[in-house]
């Protein structure tokens, strides 16, 4: 005997409406536009970039922005515009690895804690408490110290830092969803624990997770860039935005453009994800309205 | 309240124990062998064995952890691998710089953010509201390390109004009493020093305050609007109270608990932001100390700094929690 119960919570039609309402706001559309542009630039950086981001040309080092180099050149004569463009790919990688790790790990912890309860819940939530006992950048610093400074390690560190937030969110969602009639019905019909979690509880806890992932994407970009800026993330000569800023800091009194444009790029991407995430939260989370 | 306090105290101890485990484990994952790090690549095998024995590195992990915990409780984290000073002494010397920076930033954020939020709420939907809320949207997305650089470029380099970094002009001699440069300058009784200390504090504090300022403005506006429509406010207006009094005594007071909550939560954000701000403005604070120690693999200092910051952070959060419980009886019953 099979029973289809998913539409009881929210059918596809009901979900589409708040989404289109969320995107009706000008701020949300601006956010979406920035995010789409960011994805586009990541995908087509090799076609758009005027130069090789690694090609040095010492004869034109520290050149001001001009027609030859729209955003100027750095101390090795590398084209800043090309480096910023390729840097977008590092930011996207940080989102995929960092935000992805936090989402995967946090969601698993939250599902297990919320659904299994008891000792599992107690242990997992104490781990979450301990992780939250560190200011987030300090925790990232400790993890990078343990693993050694590198781009991948900085992304893993940021992923672990944001894990507790997903774990708490999903646990809360699960606790409310598991009391709903369709989950009780599935349990009464003899569905296995794993099936109930994966087929019924997880999908119905998902929309706040997606909103959080959108909001965190911006933070992940800033934090990994921050670690690179401190010399603990991406290492030279990679054109990570944080590393570009660190480079520019040494020259910013004489060549302001090296640090200015990567910083502006970080700001815009974070703004895009924040505007989009904010609009989604307003529509999907009744408390935020 | 007694039960609540006991419960929270129990949680606090578990969390602090967890913090010590996390830091211990992280430092044991450190790439490279500590003995080799101390003696260099050319050390003889017997010298390495002797040093490992001296440091207790040849003992079981659980015994090592126990020694670490005993040392930590006594404030002994070993000596810095860079200059042989006690690790905790280095941390304590750097802490006042970070404390002064974060407190100044928090004060700025509250002093500007709360009135701006109130103003926006009172003018909901008008151009005043838009003029205040739009920049806050930008503020929360700001990478502080970039903002700091831009502020230096504008105010120090182009306009020449502010110093380019540091706590005091180079060559200034001032007795170190508290380690907080502004307080020490006041205690020294020299007005010119107070001015210099403040001038060096303004840009870093303003930079660090940006995100908390934006958050505090938004939350104040939101909470004011929410409590403006509550029944008791309507009653207060209906019985003819002057508008100013309605706002102060009924709307703002009611909105204050969530606002204080958000302010309490800013501390972690500020400590994190301080790491980056200190780097940009060349301030010898705890954040900078930690980053330098990590880059130099000076693990006793990293250990001492990590435990110290986490303990301060946990205790501040604990105090904030108790504060709410005292203010709002509903929290105690949860």
Over chain B, what is the mean pLDDT? Answer: 86
A279 to chain B nearest CA, in Å? 12
pLDDT in tens, B11-52: 889 889 999 999 998 887 766 667 777 777 777 888 888 888
Nearest CB neighbour to B279, from listed A143, A222, A230: A230
Does the pLDDT of residue A289 top 80, yes or no?
no
pLDDT band for position B269 (cuts 50, 70, 90): confident
Nearest Cβ partner of B19 from A130, A144, A271? A130
Three-state DSSP class for A178?
A: coil
B240 in helix, strand or coil? coil
Q: Which is nearest to A59 in space by CA: A83, A47, A76?
A: A76
Residues of A in contact with B19 (CB under 8 A): 130, 133-134
Q: Quick: pLDDT tens for B55-68.
A: 777 788 888 889 88
Q: What tens digit of pLDDT does each residue of A205-242 get? A: 778 888 899 989 999 999 999 999 999 999 889 999 99
Q: Residue A33: pLDDT above 90?
A: yes
What b/e sequence results for A50-87 when a residue is b if at least 16 CB atoms lie within 10 Å of its CB, and e otherwise?
ebebeeeeeebebbebeeebebbbbbbbbbbbbbbbbb
Report yes or no: A131 and A88 within 8 Å, Cβ to Cβ. Answer: no
pLDDT, position B172: 77
Check whether B74 has a pLDDT greater than 50. yes
Q: What gap in Å lies between CA B265 and CA B13, rounded to an integer?
A: 20
Question: Is pLDDT at B329 greater than 80 in this prediction?
Answer: no
Under 8 Å between Cβ of B209 and B140: no
- pLDDT tens per residue across span B213-251: 999 999 999 888 888 888 888 888 888 888 888 888 888
Tokens 């758009």 belong to: A48
pLDDT band at A252 (very low <50, low <70, confident <90, very high): confident
Separation CA B105–CA A66 (nearest Å): 38
For B280, the token pair is 């940009």
Answer whether A14 touches B (CB < 8 Å): no
Q: Model-level pTM?
A: 0.87
* Percentage of residues in chain B having pLDDT higher than 70: 96
What is the token pair recorded at A226?
């921050």
The span from the CA of B90 to the CA of A154, in Å, is 26
What integer pLDDT is reported at residue B79 of this predicted model? 87
Is B146 in Cβ contact with A134 (below 8 Å)? no
Identify the pLDDT of residue A287: 52
pLDDT in the model for residue B332: 65
Alpha-carbon gap, residue A282 to B10, rounded angstroms: 37
Q: How many CB atoms lie within 10 A of CB A174?
A: 25
* Residues paired with A73 in a beta bridge: A79
Beta bridge partners of B79: B86
pLDDT tier, B112 (very low <50, low <70, confident <90, very high otherwise): very high
CB–CB of B152 and A252 under 8 A?
A: yes
Closest chain A residue to the Cα of B145, Cα to Cα: A226
Full DSSP string of B55-86: HTTTS-HHHHHHHHHHHHHTT---B-TTT-SB
Q: How far apart are CA B46 and CA A226, in angstroms?
A: 42
213-272 of B, contacting A, C-beta below 8 A: 267-269, 271-272
How would DSSP label each residue in B117-155? Answer: HHHHHHTTTSHHHHHHHHHHHHHTT--HHHHHHHHIIII
By mean pLDDT, which of A85-99, A224-238, B106-120, B178-192 is the weakest? B178-192
Q: Over 90: is that where the pLDDT of A32 sits?
A: yes
Interface test with A, best of B141, B292, B321 (most A CBs within 10 A): B141
- Does residue A263 contact residue B148 with C-beta atoms inside 8 Å? no
Q: How far is CA A258 from CA A75, A176, A187, B164, B275, in A?
A: 9, 50, 60, 18, 22
């Amino acid at each position: 005997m099979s029973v289809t119960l998913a539409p009881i919570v929210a059918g596809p039609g009901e979900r589409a409406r708040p989404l289109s309402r969320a995107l009706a706001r000008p701020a949300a559309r601006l956010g979406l536009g920035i995010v789409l542009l960011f994805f586009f630039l990541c995908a087509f950086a090799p076609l758009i970039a005027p130069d090789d981001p690694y090609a040095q040309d010492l004869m034109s080092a520290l050149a001001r922005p001009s027609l030859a180099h729209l955003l100027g050149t750095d101390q090795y004569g590398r084209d800043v515009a090309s480096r910023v463009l390729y840097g977008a790919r590092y930011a996207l990688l940080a989102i995929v690895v960092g935000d992805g790790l936090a989402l995967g790990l946090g969601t698993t912890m939250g599902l297990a804690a919320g659904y299994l309860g008891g000792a599992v819940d107690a242990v997992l939530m104490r781990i979450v408490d301990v992780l939250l006992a560190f200011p987030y950048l300090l925790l990232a610093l400790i993890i990078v110290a343990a693993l050694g400074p590198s781009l991948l390690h900085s992304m893993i560190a940021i992923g672990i830092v944001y894990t507790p937030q997903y774990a708490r969110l999903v646990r809360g969602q699960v606790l409310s969803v598991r009391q709903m009639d369709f989950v009780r019905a599935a349990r009464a019909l003899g569905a296995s624990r794993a099936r109930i979690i994966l087929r019924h509880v997880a999908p119905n806890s998902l929309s706040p997770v997606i909103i959080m992932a959108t909001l965190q994407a911006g933070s992940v970009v800033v934090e990994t860039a921050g670690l690179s800026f401190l010399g603990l993330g991406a290492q030279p000569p990679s054109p990570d935005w944080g590393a570009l800023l660190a480079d520019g800091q040494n020259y910013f009194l004489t060549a302001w453009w090296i640090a200015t444009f990567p910083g502006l790029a970080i700001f815009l991407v974070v703004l895009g994800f924040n505007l989009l995430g904010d609009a989604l939260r307003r529509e999907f989370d009744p408390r935020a309205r | 309240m007694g039960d609540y306090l006991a419960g929270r105290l129990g949680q606090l101890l578990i969390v602090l124990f967890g913090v010590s485990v996390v830091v211990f484990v992280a430092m044991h994952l450190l790439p490279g062998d500590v003995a080799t790090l101390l003696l260099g690549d050319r050390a003889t095998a017997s010298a390495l064995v002797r040093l490992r024995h001296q440091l207790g590195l040849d003992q079981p992990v659980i015994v090592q952890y126990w020694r670490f915990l005993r040392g930590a409780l006594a404030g002994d984290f070993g000596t810095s691998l860079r200059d042989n000073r006690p690790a905790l002494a280095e941390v304590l010397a750097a802490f006042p710089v970070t404390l002064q920076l974060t407190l100044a930033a928090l004060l700025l954020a509250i002093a500007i953010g709360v009135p701006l939020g109130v103003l926006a709420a009172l003018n909901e939907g008008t151009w005043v509201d838009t003029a205040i809320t739009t920049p806050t949207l930008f503020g929360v997305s700001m990478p502080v390390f970039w903002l700091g650089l831009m502020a230096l470029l504008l105010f120090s380099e182009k306009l020449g109004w502010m110093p380019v970094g540091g706590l005091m002009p180079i060559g200034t001699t001032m007795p170190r009493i508290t380690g907080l440069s502004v307080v020490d300058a006041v205690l020294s009784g020299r007005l010119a020093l107070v001015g210099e200390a403040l001038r060096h504090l303004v840009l870093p504090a303003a930079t660090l305050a940006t995100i908390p300022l934006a958050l505090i403005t938004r939350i104040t506006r939101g909470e004011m609007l929410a409590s403006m429509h509550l029944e008791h406010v309507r009653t207060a207006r209906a019985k003819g109270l002057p508008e100013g009094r309605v706002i102060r005594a009924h709307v703002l007071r009611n909105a204050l608990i969530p606002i204080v909550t958000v302010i309490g939560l800013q501390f972690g954000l500020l400590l994190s932001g301080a790491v980056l701000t200190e780097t940009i403005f060349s301030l010898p604070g705890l954040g900078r100390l930690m980053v330098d120690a990590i880059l130099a693999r000076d693990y006793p200092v990293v250990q001492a700094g990590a435990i110290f910051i986490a303990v301060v952070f946990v205790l501040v959060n604990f105090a904030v929690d108790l504060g709410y419980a005292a203010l709002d009886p509903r929290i105690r019953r949860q």
